[in-house]
Structure 1
Amino acid sequence: ADGPVEPWGYRDKVSFVFAPAGRQPLVMGHYRRGTRSAFAAGECPVHAEAGNEVAFRLRDALVRAGVPAAAPDGRNGIARHVVVRVAEGTGDRLATLVVTENVTPLRRVTGDMERFERQMSSRPVAGTQPPRFGFHLNLHDRADGFLFGRETKRLFGPMEVRETLAGVTFLLSPTSFFQTNVRIAGLMVDHVLRLLPPESCPRVLDLYSGVGLFALPLARRGQEVTAVEENRHAVAAADAAVRFNRLPDGAWRPVAGRVEAAISRLTPRPGGRAWDAVILDPPRQGCPPAVLDWIFRTLRPRLAVYVSCNPQALAADLAAIPPDYAIAEVTPYDMFPHTAHIEAVGSLVLKS
């Protein structure tokens, strides 16, 4: 990938689990690999330090207030997780405490975090505004594998933080999905923009578009983008970013729904305008065969960009693409240093 990237402090989404440990009603840490058994963490050097500061301050507040940790299934306790989003550009922080129920001792915790917010705001920051801090409570009492429950309540501070990539500002709420490593995500966005110049790719189809990580920077520079995404929260977040950034009229066309269901409606009519390029950013298991077949046998764009979070799935999908497409490049990105997880950006060009 382009340029050196610091392998420490890169996780802008900081996450810890709370758990009981022996005689201690609450410790904060991570699950041991392959288990639901948590260990108490004294530090986490891959997290953004600003996020660690918030998390450990919250842990101490919970201990002082006597709030017990919940079991992994959400029973027999209150505190389950803390998630802190740190904005790379501004240093703004958004903390979300996930609990099984809203109990009275949490008022004392909120008071402690308000004092922390005042201390943070009073720190001198040369030439910039002091970072903002928001604190939210998420209610999650179900025994499932999801990090968040259905209801989130703002306790104080902003509703979202702002993260800017390629000139586009994204509005990140407590439970919204966004890239964990914003520095590497920025390199990947720049890479995709270079592969799709507006002169040769004025019309782009973005499949599995999420919050518009690639689609909105393309639309910002005047390209006409149709973006397909099934997650309604992601579509709403992208739409809010479009309004906030005042993107050009007609440059952004969202299609809410599963890609597999949407492709029949997206096939150009005879004589109609086709897309010059397609972006694919499918889930970890890769792209369904029906979608690959539609792109490379029916749609047949001159250029396709495949963004993958699973090299094995990427290799299998590339092997299934018709031979009249050439693999121009595949560039790996170390999105999660110190792990085996690699993301990649590949481009395919129609030979004829």
Structure 2
Amino acid sequence: MQLTITAMTYGPDGLARDPQGKAVFVSGGVIGDVVEARVVEDGASFSRAVVEELLEPSPSRRQAPCPFVGVCGGCPWGSMSREAQLAAKEENLRSTLDRIGRFTPEEIDNLVKPIRFAKDEWGYRNKVELAPIHQNGKFSLGMHGRDPQQVIRVDKCPLFEKKYPKALKGVIGALSYLGNSRDLEIERVGIRASRRTRALEIALWTPTGAFPRAQVSRVLGDSLKPSSVVRVMSKGDRRARKVAGVEALLGEGSWTESIAQEQMRLSAPSFFQVNTAAAEILIELVMDDLQPQEDEVAVDLYCGAGTFTLPLARRCEYVAAVESYGPAVRDLRRNLEIARLDNVDVIGGDAVREFPDEEADLLVVDPPRAGLAPEAIDLIASTPARAVAYVSCDPATLARDLRRFCDQGTFTPVSATPVDLFPQTFHCETVVHLVRR
């Protein structure tokens, strides 16, 4: 059928309507495109289709520098102009606050601020991950496709840190050479690079057991001159693998990044935002919203390795930082030592079970995609805090949680600022400032 793409979904697809008005999610479409599409799934309330022919290209359509747009999972919006991407992300936030958060149009207009973004739209990622390919008796590495079961052969990625254009090819070449002489049992490979510190780390995720450490470190060291090569050993069911240990094969054994005037050292299993420059915008927004004072107590829930903990500790009298992931807790302790900060209580454990009993003045929450548990919202409401900064990576769970805060009656949101940490994708972070009623 012929369709006109009228919006972008919170996903890789464009949205159109068939002649009967039913929603059609169109793979390969950009807002404004007129396409000939083939229906691949016809449901009761919506259909899915793929573009067969581009009849009238959108003014927002462009030629992407990556030939795998629409095939690889890393840049599903790569064929759309940056202006159109930013507008779509802001509209997705507004739409979600309406549908799920049940905020009125007037409330949304007052709440949502213009989207913020860093300069680079390509070459911004400080991390990429590669997956193994076993084909015709040969071993190689590639990137996950839009179909999670598909791995795409690549030798470069325009999203990856532009100061290291040959890193992917070097890693793939070195490990393919080794992997075709013996089974390395590689489950995935992470590459982290920093243009600020010049740190380049290669992390090999494997099961526990024997491993050719000396040979791997020599070949990777000779081909790439990395600052660190580590092996992350995992065990357990493949659907829920757990880190059993990390061993340094070469160099420093961790990766260093400079962010917001802090030096952070991170182990391979620890989470860190993939866009350092845009992550600094998150820090700026949180600090500007909360305006921490030197006599105040702050609580940082889901604190990770310290992205918000460190700047809070610089400004507050005391910070209680809660994190459940063991490697991140260890990294946070190390980062506090590097920063020479001794006014932070690091609490390892679940944010609800280990909720600090301090009389908090401020809270920062940066939960995973699932958002806040209802118990966490009740605990936050029980504090005497004057304000909360909620950093969200998912607009749907954010809208749900903001409605819970409003219905609970203690805190109300006064601003929601989307931040484009992931150009060429539909993903977007949001910083919400809530104040006590």
- Shorter-chain TM-score: which interval? 0.7 to 0.9
Q: What value does the CA root-mean-square deviation take over the aligned residues?
A: 2.6
Paired position in structure 2 for 1:29: 142
C-alpha spacing 1:69/1:83, structure 2 compared with 1 (3 Å):
farther
- Aligned residue runs from structure 1 range 125-140, under 5 A: 133-140=227-234
How many residues are matched? 320
Q: Distance in 2 between matches of 1:5 and 1:278?
A: 29
Structure 1 residue corresponding to 2:187, chosen from 80, 88, 91: 80
Does the CA contact (< 8 Å) of 2:386 and 2:435 recur in 1? yes
Query: Does the Cα contact within 8 Å between 2:393 and 2:428 map onto a contact in 1?
Result: yes
1:235 to 302, 308, 329: 329
- Using the alignment, how far apart are the partners of 2:119 and 2:259 within structure 1? 16
- Counterpart for residue 166 of structure 1: 260
CA distance in 2, matches of 1:198, 1:135: 39
Secondary structure (helix, strand or coil) at the match of 2:187 reads strand
Deviation per CA, 1:64-105, whole angstroms, max 9, x where unpaired?
3353797xxxxxx7333221111242121011123456455x
**Deviation string, structure 1 residues 276-308 (Cα, Å, up to 9, x no partner):** 111111221111111112222x22421111111
**Residue 151 of structure 1, CA deviation:** 3.3
| Structure 1 residues 66 and 278, CA gap change in structure 2 (3 angstroms) | closer
> Under a length normalisation based on structure 1, what TM-score does the superposition of the two structures give?
0.82
SS, match of residue 170 in structure 1: strand
Indicate yes or no: 2:206 matched with 1:93: no
| CA distance 1:109–1:314, change in 2 (3 Å) | same
- The yes-or-no answer on 1:280 pairing with 2:365 is yes
2:398: which partner in 1? 314
Q: State the distance in 1 between where 2:206 and 2:428 align.
A: 32
Which residue of structure 2 lines up, in the alignment, with residue 53 of structure 1? 166
CA contact (8 A) 1:308 1:344 kept: yes
Q: CA deviation at 1:33?
A: 2.1
Task: State the distance in 2 between where 1:252 and 1:46 align.
Answer: 35
Determine helix, strand or coil for the equivalent of 1:135: strand
Aligned-partner SS, 2:354: helix
Q: Residue 62 of structure 1 aligns with which residue?
A: 175
Letter paired with 1:9: G
**Map of 2:131 onto structure 1:** 17
- The runs of 5 or more residues in structure 1 that have no matched partner are 71-76, 121-131, 269-273
Superposition deviation, residue 200 in structure 1:
8.0
Structure 2 gaps of 5+ residues are: 1-114
Change (3 A) 1:148 1:258: closer
- SS in structure 2 at match of 1:179: coil
Is 2:421 the partner of 1:335?
yes
- Do 2:298 and 2:316's aligned partners in 1 also have CA atoms closer than 8 Å? no
- 1:180 counterpart letter in structure 2: V
Measure how far apart 1:146 and its partner are. Answer: 6.0
* Residue type at the aligned position of 1:208: Y
Q: Is the 8 A contact 1:16 1:81 kept in 2?
A: yes
Matching residue of 2:348: 256
Q: Aligned partners of 1:97 and 1:50: how far apart in 2?
A: 22
Counterpart selection for 1:325 from 389, 411, 418:
411
**1:197 CA drift (Å):** 2.1
Alpha-carbon distance in structure 2 between the residues aligned to 1:152 and 1:175: 8
Distance 1:98 1:198, change over 3 A: closer
- Cα shift readout 1:146-170 (whole Å, capped 9, x = no counterpart): 6875233322211222212222211
Query: How far is 1:8 from its partner?
Result: 0.8
Measured after TM superposition, the shift of residue 52 of structure 1 is 5.4
Q: Which residue of 1 aligns with 2:246?
A: 152
Relative to structure 1, is the Cα distance of residues 109 and 52 closer, same or farther in structure 2, using a 3 angstrom cutoff? farther
Choose which of 122, 143, 151 in structure 2 pairs with 1:38.
151
Following TM superposition, by how much is the alpha carbon of 1:334 offset from its aligned partner in structure 2, in angstroms?
Answer: 1.4
Per the normalisation by structure 2, the TM-score is 0.67
Alignment partners' CA distance in 1, 2:294 and 2:435: 13
